[in-house]
A and B are shown apart, each in its own frame.
Chain A
Amino acid sequence: MKLRHKISLLAGSILLLVLLICAGALLLYARKTILALAEDQAKDKQSALAASFSSMARYYSVPEDSDAARESLIRYCFTQFADQEGVLMRGSEPLCSSVSVDPSLYAVPDREDARTAVYQGKVDGRQLLIVASLEWVQADTLYVGLVRDITEVYDAMARLTRLFLLVCAAGVVLGMGLLFLAVKKSTAPLSRLTAATGEIAAGAYDKRVTVSGRDEVSDLGRSFNRMAEAVENRIADLTEQNERQRLFIGGVSHEFKTPLAAVRLHGDLLQSAKLSEAERADSLQHIRRAGAYMTRMTQSLMELLLLDQGIETEETDPADLLIAVESAARDSLATRGVTLVIDRQAASPLPLNRTLMTSLLLNLIENAARSYDPEDGDKTVTLRACGRCFEVSDHGRGIPAEAQARIFEPFYRVDKSRSRKQGGSGLGLALVKAIADAHGATLSLQSEPSRGTTFRVQF
């Protein structure tokens, strides 16, 4: 069952109930009022009749009258005031009556306190209102009654009740119809929401609902749109992340293909070709180099992967770190004729991961060393600790402006064949960036072609 049907039915039932209760109460009140009014009228008329009749009868009667004379006097006096509703009785003997019922059976006045008795009820299929009192004329106790037929009043009341119910029913039907339309209109946004949810579930993440108004359904629509936007953004993020990873994996496998091709081709040659000693040595050397290159790349990849899992830092004196970096780099640089200059200023300890920061600085130093050609004269790399930063500078060939934005991308190389020849993995600066990011440090570079480059890690 749909929500709008539920709401309409429920509201309709409540409407019907309330209308019935109101109409019932109104009807009961009207009935009571009408009956009281009729009773008052009848009482007034009866008391007027009784008073007028009894005072006239008392005035004219004398104790010496015979019974027969008194009876005719009483009858005469009564007929002077009574109409067809009046009933005069002595004991159970009617003296004067034009109605077919005996009122003294229903309305019985109390002989002691002389009060007026009232009866209202059904007699012989008619609704009767009977008012009666006792009057005394000489020795006679006379019963003066008023019998009024109020069947028509009851019929009118029944007609009124039927009309009321009819109006109620019509009201309920009309009300429910209007209610249904109103509920349908106000739940229409829910249907739109349902449709939109379905589309989003089917993959249309850019779907939104149009929202107007300020009620809860509109609020729901707005919340829904916010949620849909969050979902869309998240999915876009994930898609982008996925795409980055896909490109990265593509890059990795591409990078492995060249050294693998070298290993395979030279392996084939060594196995099957007739080679001179020199050719054999060359092939072996190529295989060794390709192996070393793949080893370096694998290590860099492992470090990149581990960085994703977060790092542990400890307060470290930059000076200590530089000593470690210097001893690790010096020999390899010396064989290539590169001089490493350490510029150590007094600095407060920094929160860093020694291993990773060493790796970062070694990568920057290696990168700087490669900015020189073997035949260059003065090949100096400067490593500086400066307050809350480290700097690695060279005065080699520099990085072209258009390459500076991409230099930290994995497998980006300013000069592909140069980098290969020098054994670069294409991951060195990507690793540097990842390590800096993991430390929350910013990495920047200043470079001028043929003047040199300075990389700066700022904590």
Chain B
Amino acid sequence: MQNRILLVEDDQAIADAVALNLKIVGYDYARFEDGRAAADSLIEDHAFDLALLDIMLPGMDGFELLGHVKKYGIPVIYMTAKADAASEIKGLLDGAEDYVIKPFDMMTLMVRMEKVLLRTGRLNRIYRAGDVELDDYRHEVYKAGERVELRPLEYGVLLYLMKHKNLTVTREQLLSEVWGFEYMGESRSVDVKISSLRRKLGLGDAIKTVQKLGYRLEDR
């Protein structure tokens, strides 16, 4: 089951960007522009794993909305343009799990979302792309229901690509996240793992090489 996110943001441009990002990496979401409308809808539907709340909202501000969200045990990440320490601390003391300050980049938000979901035990760790399924609970990978054996680094690269499905990940990101060190001059090892993943899982078309950037696991 996909993780379901409550997104409350009144700026349409930002809400569109975040929503689109959530959609393409495989999250389900419900979005609201008005704090009160979001609070009201929670009464009927509160099956969310995480809430992304703006603070300056019409109808009801993010601080007040937090109370309604916490009532259902949903962890909260604030997205705010208020950079002053006071509102950060207030947000965290009120029970927000984390916050990001605008302008933020999507990678930062996704990493924080994943950490909060993991910490609260809500992270869905089964990822799918096409007929490939990665079960991160058991560290197993299936292709059309058939188990496929992967080397640890191959598994790490596939997991990272799955987590950022439909987004381009750079070789540097892969090196630092999977290999665990900053790239020191040789990125061929990444290319080697990618080609063995393509071969073993039949992902030749799905894993796209993005010129000058890196790779993208496509599933749309």
Say yes or no for A65: interface residue by CB 8 A criterion: no
Which of B13, B17, B104, B167 meets A272, CB within 8 Å?
Answer: B167
Which of B13, B34, B168, B220 meets A266, CB within 8 Å?
Answer: B13
Which residues of B33-84 have CB atoms within 8 Å of chain A's CB atoms? 33-34, 56, 58, 81-83
Contact B11 A258 (CB under 8 A): yes
CA distance A450 to B216 in the complex (A): 53
Chain B residue numbers with a CB within 8 Å of A257 are 81, 83, 101-103
Say yes or no for A282: interface residue by CB 8 A criterion: yes
CA distance A269 to B22 in the complex (A): 11
Contact A417 B10 (CB under 8 A): yes
Contact A269 B58 (CB under 8 A): no
Say yes or no for B209: interface residue by CB 8 A criterion: no
Chain B residue numbers with a CB within 8 Å of A272 are 167-168, 210, 213, 216
- A44-52, A149-157, A283-291, A362-370 - the one binding chain B: A283-291
Say yes or no for A117: interface residue by CB 8 A criterion: no
Mark contacts of A238-270 with chain B using CB atoms, 8 A cut-off: 1 yes-contact digit, 0 otherwise.
Answer: 000000000000000010011111111110110
Residues of B within 8 Å of A, CB-based: how many?
A: 34
Nearest A residue (CB) for B106? A268
CA distance A415 to B33 in the complex (A): 13
Contact B168 A258 (CB under 8 A): no
Say yes or no for A93: interface residue by CB 8 A criterion: no
Contact B102 A269 (CB under 8 A): no
Contact B82 A264 (CB under 8 A): no
Chain B residue numbers with a CB within 8 Å of A2 are none
Say yes or no for B14: interface residue by CB 8 A criterion: yes
Say yes or no for B126: interface residue by CB 8 A criterion: no
- Pick from B21, B101, B106 the residue with the most CB of A within 10 Å: B106
Nearest A residue (CB) for B56? A416
Number of A-B pairs, beta carbon distance below 8 Å: 95
Mark contacts of B93-126 with chain A using CB atoms, 8 A cut-off: 1 yes-contact digit, 0 otherwise.
Answer: 0000000011111110000000000000000000
Given A260-B102, A265-B18, A265-B21: A274 in contact with B13 (beta carbons within 8 A): no
Chain A nearest CB, measured from B210 CB (Å): 8
Chain A residue numbers with a CB within 8 Å of B166 are 273-274
Chain A residue numbers with a CB within 8 Å of B33 are 417
Which of B16, B82, B104, B220 meets A286, CB within 8 Å?
Answer: B16
Say yes or no for A421: interface residue by CB 8 A criterion: yes
CA distance A279 to B16 in the complex (A): 10
Chain B nearest CB, measured from A148 CB (Å): 109
Mark contacts of B146-169 with chain A using CB atoms, 8 A cut-off: 1 yes-contact digit, 0 otherwise.
Answer: 000000000000000000001110
Contact B106 A259 (CB under 8 A): no
Chain B residue numbers with a CB within 8 Å of A254 are 81-83
Say yes or no for B20: interface residue by CB 8 A criterion: yes
CA distance A417 to B33 in the complex (A): 9
Which residues of B8-30 have CB atoms within 8 Å of chain A's CB atoms? 10-14, 16-18, 20-21, 24
CA distance A263 to B218 in the complex (A): 24
Mark contacts of A273-305 with chain B using CB atoms, 8 A cut-off: 1 yes-contact digit, 0 otherwise.
Answer: 111100100110010011000000000000000
Chain A residue numbers with a CB within 8 Å of B82 are 254
Chain A residue numbers with a CB within 8 Å of B13 are 258-259, 262, 265-266, 286, 289-290
Which of B81, B210, B216 meets A258, CB within 8 Å?
Answer: B81
Chain B nearest CB, measured from A414 CB (Å): 11
Chain A residue numbers with a CB within 8 Å of B81 are 254, 257-258, 261
Say yes or no for A420: interface residue by CB 8 A criterion: yes
Chain A nearest CB, measured from B89 CB (Å): 18
Instruction: Give the top 5 A-B pairs by smallest Cβ distance, nearest first.
Output: A262-B13, A265-B17, A272-B168, A261-B103, A261-B102
Residues of B within 8 A of A (CB): 10-14, 16-18, 20-21, 24, 33-34, 56, 58, 81-83, 101-107, 166-168, 208, 210, 213, 216, 218, 220
Residues of A within 8 A of B (CB): 254, 257-266, 268-269, 271-276, 279, 282-283, 286, 289-290, 415-417, 420-421
Given contacts A269-B106, A416-B58, 11 further A-B contacts (CB under 8 A): A254-B81, A254-B83, A258-B14, A265-B103, A268-B106, A272-B167, A273-B20, A273-B21, A273-B166, A274-B218, A417-B33
